Structure 1
Amino acid sequence: LLSHLFLEGKGSLVRGFDRGASDDLLFLPPPRGELHLKYVLAAAGRVKDLQFDLGVRRSWEQKHFPEGVDFVPPPSAYTLLTAGFSMNYLLGAHPLGIHLRIDNLLDTPYREYLNRLRYYADEAGRNVELRLSYEF
């Protein structure tokens, strides 16, 4: 069971400082991180590369920015959940790829600090993507 489980993580932290003005730089991304748990199954008959994915993406509030320069304070931190499924199904000698991905699984309202539309509107809600591919 554990040989089929994979844990993948990544994160970023960017800091910048204006030495001349002795202040933080404007519009740098807030700290963020992602963690994905993937379950990959071995081939079974016509089904190849069967994979399930659950993920969480966290973006913290930007605490380092120059005061009085932006119109509004940075948006609050948010956490988004994702889920995915993918597989290749053999149709004769050619694989049909089936991929399903759901971003913002819980339809969480949030605003991204680097999006200039954050002054007026939330980011897009839940996004469901179904992708089919056929190699010939």
Structure 2
Amino acid sequence: NKERSYKASVSLEGSAGDFSFGLNPFYNKIDDFIILEPDAIEQTTRGAFPVYEYRQVDAHLYGIDVNAKYRFDAHFDLDGSFSYVNGQDLTRNRPLIDMPAPNWTNTLTYTNAKLNNLTLGLRSQSVFRQTRYPDNDFNVPVLQDNGETIDQTVQISEPPAGYNLFHFTSSIDFKVAEQSNLTLGFYVDNILDTNYREYLNRQRYYVDDLGRNFRIQLKFNY
């Protein structure tokens, strides 16, 4: 069956002096929503891996996106954003799988147009533990050393712990021709090399997410 979606949302924006904000609550009713769920495990020469199956369920999602910004002066400003999504499987009356956890981001930015549009930013990213998730744990037969077979529960449902990351961003422009310029960017993701696992990443069953990462970007505009 085809998915059918009915969505309602409201946007509210406002400002007062150097402070501005935006609120965006939403509601989405989806008939025959396509989801991908684990329901078995497959033994291979590389180990055991979960097997996923597509299903269709009636669902609703509601939540809110909030953002705010405060400009301290000509160079410094602080941006904040918060997102929350609540997904419910109406067919089986349980939480939807793979809904993003509530998350909160703050970014302190320094800009200086006189210094070749120099931009420096420090961003904190807080992701809370997802507490609404379906129970998709299942039992598999396991052969013991004595030849007996017992059922063992594969705990595949529980989301990982929440985490907090810090990131650094920077960029600067260089004029190379009358109508051309080169932008050099330097970025550091996960500055503190924090160990964490992202709920929406299926590799979380086997390995931590990306650690400290350095990136250099060159962008030529002409």
**Do the structures match in fold with TM over 0.5?**
yes
Taking the aligned partners of 1:33 and 1:6, their CA distance within structure 2 comes to 17
Partner of 2:122: 54
> Over aligned residue pairs, what C-alpha RMSD do you find?
1.7
**Within 5 A, what are the aligned runs for 1:26-105?**
26-44=97-115, 48-69=116-137, 71-93=156-178, 94-105=180-191
Question: Given residue 73 of structure 1, which amino acid in structure 2 is its aligned partner?
Answer: E
Taking the aligned partners of 1:66 and 1:76, their CA distance within structure 2 comes to 16
Partner of 1:124: 210
Q: Cα offset for 1:130?
A: 0.4
User: Structure 2, unaligned stretches of length 5 or more?
Assistant: 1-71, 138-154
Q: Cα offset for 1:133?
A: 2.1
Q: How many residues align?
A: 133
Q: Cα offset for 1:68?
A: 4.5
Rg (Cα) greater in structure: 2
Q: Cα offset for 1:116?
A: 0.6
Partner of 1:24: 95
Task: Assess if the C-alpha contact under 8 Å between 1:72 and 1:119 holds in 2.
Answer: no
Q: Cα offset for 1:13?
A: 0.7
> Which 4+ residue blocks in structure 1 deviate beyond 4 angstroms?
none
Bigger strand share: 2
Please give the TM-score of this superposition, normalised by the length of structure 2: 0.56
Task: Assess if the C-alpha contact under 8 Å between 2:134 and 2:157 holds in 1.
Answer: no
Identity of aligned residues (%): 32
